[in-house]
């Protein structure tokens, strides 16, 4: 009787090692996804983050024209996170129902339109309302992408793919800061530079949102750049991971939302968000305070985020290479804490304080892509979509608290030192909670 060949047998080496065949499939799937889709996802995230954070550059002109205090500006930045928090879970569940392609397109087009509308605000209240709506429109994007990746990439290799996707964060500033600095110096058609900043940087989001409908495949079965045997292997690998996660964690929607572990993961994400978003919201204002021009401020921000991108690539690849996750999250958080304390300690020497502040952003940022390797260890199935969304919702409050605390401290203490020490408590909490996860069996495993 002749041997029966399954698709997996087709590329197994002669004589037979399934481990060798697995390695070949794994390399094929990850390398092709990394080449075909990961850069596109990073591009989407670049413009998402640009539309989320360009208010920090607009503040260099907008705050004075609208009469915003540091506290009011911090609240305006944070209102985005309130909208995000309210709509994150519903939006992610809708993505799971309607499919990634259609729902991500809806998200991107709507946030682009609303971000563009921010150019025409006239009052403090209208700014609060539009920032809330931009957050509501964007809700579901990041957890939706992370859930999408769990259907394409095995857990052991997911760290570097998430790292490529989240390169959109530093790239948004690398690309956007010089452009924002130049736009602030323009006054065309009766509109100020900060208004053109919102207009010019929103249009690509709308166009990219339309492109999603034609570019993004819904599932591995829809693509031709994976062989049938690749697809069979990938489905078997992911089914095994989901089964293990279901045994050790939560696979049902209700149990995922009620889980103390999911709440702890949300608090870890929140704590890091306090430090990261508090820093990023005010960094252009602090750098501009050194006496730099708009353009020079933009180039300075771009240089800082080039270093951040390089460090993020190293950090996420090292995490995948070693299979270690916990210390890669906690370590990045603790490095950020140390640098925030350094910035506060040298607040009377502005140039030194800015260097410490920049180092906090560079060293702490990889905590985010490293963190997103943790939830799939505990969540699977419907619980993964809802749980990731709930974690992201809780974490969004960090982006509300960080800018608000730093702005309030600036107005009431006359400087940033006290606020920097306060927001440093966020990543410190994250580090402590992350290390405590080692006691749970779902996180004791490698990868």
What is the model's pTM? 0.74
* Cα–chain center distance at 320: 18
Q: For residue 287, which of 305, 273, 271 has the smallest C-alpha distance?
A: 305
Name the one residue in this structure whose structure tokens are 């996660």: 245
CA distance 60 to 73: 11
Per residue in 136-163, pLDDT (tens digit) is: 998 888 888 888 888 888 877 777 788 8
* Token representation of residue 338: 């140390």
Say if residue 364's pLDDT is above 90.
yes
The DSSP symbol for 217 reads -
The DSSP symbol for 171 reads H
CB 168 within 8 A of CB 42: yes
The DSSP symbol for 223 reads -
Q: For residue 435, which of 263, 269, 311, 268 has the smallest C-alpha distance?
A: 268
Say if residue 110's pLDDT is above 50.
yes
Say if residue 11's pLDDT is above 50.
no
CA distance 89 to 92: 5
Predicted local confidence at residue 207, as pLDDT = 94
The total number of residues written for the chain in this structure: 447
Say if residue 118's pLDDT is above 70.
yes
> 355 CB contacts (<8 Å, ≥6 apart)?
none
The DSSP string of 56-124 is: HHHHHHHHHHHT--HHHHHHHHHHHHHHHHHHHHHHHHHHHHH-HHHHHHHHHHHHHHHHHHGGG--SH
* Cα–chain center distance at 4: 46
Give the mean model confidence (pLDDT) for residues 88-113.
Answer: 87
Q: Count Cα neighbours of 239 within 13 Å in the Cβ-side half-sphere.
A: 6
* Nearest-5° Cα angle at 253, 248 to 259: 55
* Cα–chain center distance at 203: 21
* Token representation of residue 14: 């002669």
pLDDT-derived band of residue 248, with 50, 70 and 90 as boundaries? low
Say if residue 4's pLDDT is above 50.
no
**In whole angstroms, how far apart are CA 141 and each of 27, 75, 100, 110?**
27, 22, 9, 12
Instruction: Please give the helix or strand (H or E) that residue 141 lies within, else none.
Output: helix 141-149
Q: For residue 423, which of 354, 324, 344, 347 has the smallest C-alpha distance?
A: 344
C-alpha distance across the termini of the chain, in Å: 41
**By mean pLDDT, which of 214-223, 241-250, 328-337, 435-444 is the weakest?**
241-250
Say if residue 431's pLDDT is above 90.
yes
For the CA atoms of 216, 220, 224, 227, the dihedral, rounded to the nearest 10 degrees, stands at 160
Considering only residues 257 and 13, tell me which one the structure prediction assigns the higher pLDDT: 257
CB 57 within 8 A of CB 353: no
Predicted local confidence at residue 254, as pLDDT = 61
Say if residue 99's pLDDT is above 80.
yes
* Token representation of residue 151: 């259907």
Predicted local confidence at residue 2, as pLDDT = 39
pLDDT-derived band of residue 105, with 50, 70 and 90 as boundaries? very high
Give the mean model confidence (pLDDT) for residues 393-420.
Answer: 85
- Alpha-helical regions (H) of 249-349: 253-258, 260-288, 294-322, 326-345
pLDDT-derived band of residue 211, with 50, 70 and 90 as boundaries? very high
CB 399 within 8 A of CB 78: yes
CA distance 345 to 5: 67
CA distance 388 to 245: 14
């Amino acid at each position: 009787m002749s041997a029966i060949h399954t698709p997996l047998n087709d590329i197994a080496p002669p004589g037979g090692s399934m481990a060798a065949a697995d390695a070949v499939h794994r390399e094929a799937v990850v390398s092709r996804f990394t080449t075909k889709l990961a850069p596109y996802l990073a591009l989407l995230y670049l413009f998402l983050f640009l539309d989320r954070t360009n208010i920090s550059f607009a503040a260099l002109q907008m705050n004075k024209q609208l009469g915003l205090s540091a506290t009011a500006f911090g609240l305006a930045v944070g209102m985005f996170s309130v909208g995000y928090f309210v709509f994150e879970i519903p939006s992610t569940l809708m993505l799971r129902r309607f499919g990634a392609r259609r729902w991500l397109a809806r998200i991107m087009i709507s946030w682009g339109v609303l971000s563009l509308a921010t150019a025409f605000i006239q009052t403090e209240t209208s700014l609060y309302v539009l920032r809330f709506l931009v957050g509501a429109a964007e809700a579901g994007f990041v957890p939706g992408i992370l859930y999408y990746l769990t259907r394409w990439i095995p857990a052991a290799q997911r760290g570097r793919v998430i790292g490529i996707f989240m390169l959109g964060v530093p790239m948004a500033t690398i690309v956007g800061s010089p452009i924002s600095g130049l736009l602030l110096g323009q006054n065309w058609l009766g509109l100020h530079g900060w208004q053109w900043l919102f207009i010019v940087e929103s249009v690509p989001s709308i166009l990219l949102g339309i492109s999603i409908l034609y570019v993004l495949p819904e599932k591995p079965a829809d693509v031709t750049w994976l062989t049938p045997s690749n697809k069979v292997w990938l489905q078997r690998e992911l089914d095994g991971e989901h089964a293990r996660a279901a045994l050790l964690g939560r696979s049902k929607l209700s149990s995922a939302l009620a889980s103390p572990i999911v709440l702890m993961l949300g608090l870890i994400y929140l704590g890091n968000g306090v430090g990261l978003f508090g820093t990023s919201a005010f960094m252009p204002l602090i750098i501009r305070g050194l006496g730099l021009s708009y353009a020079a401020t933009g180039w300075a921000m771009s240089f800082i985020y080039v270093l951040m991108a390089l460090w993020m690539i190293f950090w996420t690849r090292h995490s995948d290479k070693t299979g270690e996750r916990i210390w890669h999250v906690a370590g990045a958080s603790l490095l950020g804490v140390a640098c925030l304390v350094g910035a506060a300690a040298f607040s009377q020497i502005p140039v030194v304080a800015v260097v410490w502040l920049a180092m906090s952003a560079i060293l702490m940022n990889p905590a985010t892509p490293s963190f997103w390797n943790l939830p799939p260890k505990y969540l699977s199935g419907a619980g993964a979509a809802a749980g990731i969304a709930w974690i992201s919702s809780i974490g969004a409050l960090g982006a509300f608290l960080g800018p608000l605390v730093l702005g309030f401290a600036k107005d009431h203490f006359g400087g940033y030192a006290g606020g920097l020490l306060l927001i440093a408590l966020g990543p410190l909490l994250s580090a402590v909670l992350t290390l405590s996860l080692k006691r749970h069996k779902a996180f004791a495993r490698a990868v």
